């Protein structure tokens, strides 16, 4: 028997749910946020429509190995969003989905290693920051 629990599916809430024993998620947040230029990273949340990223040619997330991070900068994605290019939505969605998958993959490894609680506290402080 399954019980539906509705959680605001931000990355930190996913970790809180995992800690409480929830192990299955149906989450639209990665792609919904991606469509609005909100990207989740290991250094916090970025809103790429902000003008401060206009000349920021660094990777979206240095710790991410997704296609988007490997090939595009924050400035270029910002340009795509501001120009109304559909490619921006696709690239941001690729990144956010990869981030969520990587997050739960790492959470699983921390559970297996018996270090989840300490890791969760440390990681939530990093990924919750608004950049």
Whether 33 has a pLDDT exceeding 80, the answer reads yes
- Number of helical (H) and strand (E) elements in the chain, helices listed first: 6, 2
| pLDDT per residue as tens digits for the range 50-65 | 999 999 999 999 999 9
**Cβ distance 107 to 18 under 8 Å?**
yes
Q: Please indicate, yes or no, if residue 107 is contained in any of the structural domains.
A: yes
The SS3 assignment for 13 reads helix
Q: pLDDT tens across 21-30, in order?
A: 877 776 788 8
Q: Which tokens in the block code for residue 96?
A: 């956010």
- Let me know if residue 89 belongs to a domain: yes
In a domain, 131, yes or no: no
Q: How many domains does the chain have?
A: 1
In a domain, 130, yes or no: no
Quick check: is 53 in a domain? yes
Give pLDDT tens digits for 66-109: 999 999 999 999 999 999 999 999 999 999 999 999 999 999 99
Q: 47 in a domain, yes or no?
A: yes
Residue 4 has pLDDT above 80, yes or no: no
Give a yes or no: residue 12 inside a domain: no
- The model's pTM is 0.88
Query: Residue 81 is part of which domain span?
Result: 28-124
Q: Rounded CA gap, 45 and 115, in Å?
A: 24
- The reply to whether 85 falls in a domain is yes
pLDDT category at 8 given cuts 50, 70, 90 is low
What phi and psi values does residue 100 have, to the nearest 5 degrees?
Answer: -60, -45
Percentage, residues of the chain above pLDDT 70: 92
């Amino acid at each position: 028997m399954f019980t539906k629990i509705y959680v605001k599916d931000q990355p930190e809430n996913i970790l809180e749910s995992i800690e409480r024993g929830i192990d299955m998620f149906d989450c639209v947040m990665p792609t919904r946020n991606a469509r609005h230029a909100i990207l989740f990273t290991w250094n916090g949340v970025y809103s790429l429509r902000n003008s401060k990223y206009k000349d920021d040619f660094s990777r979206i997330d240095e710790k991410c190995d997704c296609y988007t991070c490997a090939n595009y900068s924050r400035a270029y994605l910002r340009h795509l969003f501001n120009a109304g290019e559909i490619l921006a939505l696709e690239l941001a969605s690729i990144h956010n989905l990869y981030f969520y998958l990587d997050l739960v993959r790492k959470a699983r490894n921390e559970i297996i290693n018996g270090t989840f609680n300490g890791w969760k506290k440390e990681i939530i402080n990093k990924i919750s920051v608004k950049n």
